[in-house]
Structure 1
Amino acid sequence: MTMPQPVPMRNQPRPNAADHAKLWILHGAAWLALMIYVWTAWVVSGDFRTNTTGRGSEPDWYVALIRGWEVFALVVSLVILWWFVVRPKLRTGRFGFDALFFLGCMALCFQEPWINWTAPQFLYSTTSINFGSWTAHIPGWTSPNSELVPLSLWALSAYFWLVGIPAYAGSRFMRRLRTRNAGLSNLRLVGYTYLAFCVFDVLLESFITRTQLFSYGSTVPALTLWAGTDHQFPIYETISWAGTYTVLASLHFFRDDRGRSLPERGIDKLRITSGRLRTFAQFLAIMGACQAGMLFTYNIPYAYWGMHAVMAEPFVAREWRTAGVCGPKTAYDCPAPNLPIARIGSPTNRIDR
């Protein structure tokens, strides 16, 4: 006689699911605490001020481009905020997953300037609206003069539309692939998505670097396309950033039948009676996962590349790009072969010849 087999319950939480959720919530809370500490220290220190070094020496076409781009960035950001966050909240009275996901992507702006941890590699311009950068107040930061980095406001808002939207689109792409081929393994699904993001990133970054909306000023020449020009592009950027996109798209796509992403699973087992507090806990878990994704796929690899990077001469000669962080008129020479890597506390890295 054949014994009937038990029917498995879909997405039944494991006994340690609550602990799993607690770890992700605490992880997100740690990130939030770090943000509050760093941004507060930045504002009260007096480093929160506009950097105008070299402003006025840029070509007129560039000034017009930046002003138009800043307006575009503001409009697009407000549209996305309305469509994915505010509008659903007004309709349902709660923040759904998409709202928390886009807010989590927006919080990644905290890591935007971390690419310059070991050396100035990523350049904005003093032409743009900026208030310097908060990186000098991050515990363990090593690169000097980082408070002068003119972190463009449009680059921060871009985490809605240059990060959140592509990640959301990547999730939809994964859904379409799975719909067309239900037997497609998760590994191949993620692999195809990563390759698609590689193509997308090359096209996107080609436009951005050619127009110099931002620039990869310091790169490893042997791993850089058009090395030495003002539109040079490191191929390892695509390898890393496509990885970040893929992590975010996977976070959005791989959800259970209750709509819970991986870091949220088990939250229902926690003794949280307040609906608002539960939503906040979900946000912390999602935001923390986003932060971990960007840290490990992008900023940690770039900390390594920064120790081997060389700044192209066209940027060294343009104060509105180097912004007083490095260069002939500062205490620190920009990254160059056989030049010591500048560190906070060292008076200079310049070698007298």
Structure 2
Amino acid sequence: MFVLAWLLAAWQDVGVNAVRPVFGYNGAFFNMGTWAEFIPGWVEKGPENPQPIIYFLASYIVLTPLAIMGIDKLIETLRRRFPRLNRAGVIAFMIALFTFLCLALEQVFIRFGAWHYLRVNETWSIFPGTMYQFPLYEGVVFGGIVTVISIGIYCFRDKDGLMITDKGIERLKPTKWLPVIRILSLTAVFNLVMMVFMLGFNFVNMHAGTQPPADEIPSYVHHDMCGLADNPPCPPLP
């Protein structure tokens, strides 16, 4: 259920480049282009960042459930070890943990060349002006807060095993469609969380102008996206 809900919200992953290109996957990943241009309201600005299909699916089908199960067990262990640890303490711990993991893992993948942040806000980034630059606001907000919200929905189930997105489902008549309703309810929440993140991320990106040197950005990363490397500048925003 959790995996399906995230898959139905993951279409927003392309939204990091909604207003202007700031991120690029390595073109060596298997891909079939991107669906970005077909999203209503998408800003037309030429070539876009292709989505790595196999990695994309693996992230949500394999890594997501493993992370959820691992954190669920970790929370149980922490509460047994520290009985006075309340929900606020658990949330604070998870935000700190996932922020750190995001920062660390992003640097690993960036240095392996899997992807790069090609335009960042220098004030709130590490290694600005290099191919290793990384926006800390992405690590804190997405890696920490967004991840913890989504995992917390699952981990903080009630005594009947229901999530907060299942509230009121007991008022529905028993039907074979109840699992579908639960998935769609969870999907709606995940889509809302992702949408809020993307709106904020793109607002910051409108003021993000720090790039690596043009001659250091390989073509298989910038994908001819506007305003990057030696590519033509992006058209004015409508």
Q: TM-score range by the shorter chain?
A: 0.7 to 0.9
Change (3 A) 1:342 1:154: farther
CA distance in structure 2 between the partners assigned to 1:192 and 1:259 by the alignment: 23
How far does residue 343 in structure 1 lie from its aligned partner after superposition? 3.4
Please show how residues 61-80 of structure 1 align to structure 2 within 5 Å: none
1:150-195 Cα deviation digits (max 9, x unpaired): 1111342112334443244233322222222333222121111111
Higher RCO (CA < 8 A, seq sep 6+) = 2
Select the structure of larger CA radius of gyration: 1
**Equivalence for 2:186:** 286
For these two proteins, the number of residue pairs brought into alignment is 234
Identity of aligned residues (%): 20
- Please tell me the residue identity of whatever aligns with 1:306: N
**Equivalence for 2:198:** 299
Runs of 4+ in 1 over 6 A off after TM superposition: none
**Equivalence for 2:49:** 149
Change (3 A) 1:133 1:106: same
The 3-state SS of whatever aligns with 1:140 is coil
- Please tell me the residue identity of whatever aligns with 2:150: L
**Equivalence for 1:124:** 25
- Unmatched 5+ stretches in structure 2: none
> Is residue 2:152 matched to residue 1:253?
no
How far does residue 101 in structure 1 lie from its aligned partner after superposition? 0.9
**Equivalence for 2:41:** 140
> Is residue 2:213 matched to residue 1:313?
yes
**Equivalence for 1:170:** 71
The 3-state SS of whatever aligns with 1:218 is coil
Identify which of 218, 221, 246 aligns with 2:119: 218
How far does residue 247 in structure 1 lie from its aligned partner after superposition? 0.7
- Please tell me the residue identity of whatever aligns with 1:260: L
How far does residue 128 in structure 1 lie from its aligned partner after superposition? 2.0
> Is residue 2:39 matched to residue 1:109?
no
- Please tell me the residue identity of whatever aligns with 1:202: L
Q: CA RMSD in A?
A: 2.2
1:192-232 Cα deviation digits (max 9, x unpaired): 11111112112211111111211111111122111111111
TM-score, structure 1 as length reference: 0.61
> Is residue 2:237 matched to residue 1:343?
yes
The 3-state SS of whatever aligns with 1:219 is coil
TM-score, structure 2 as length reference: 0.88
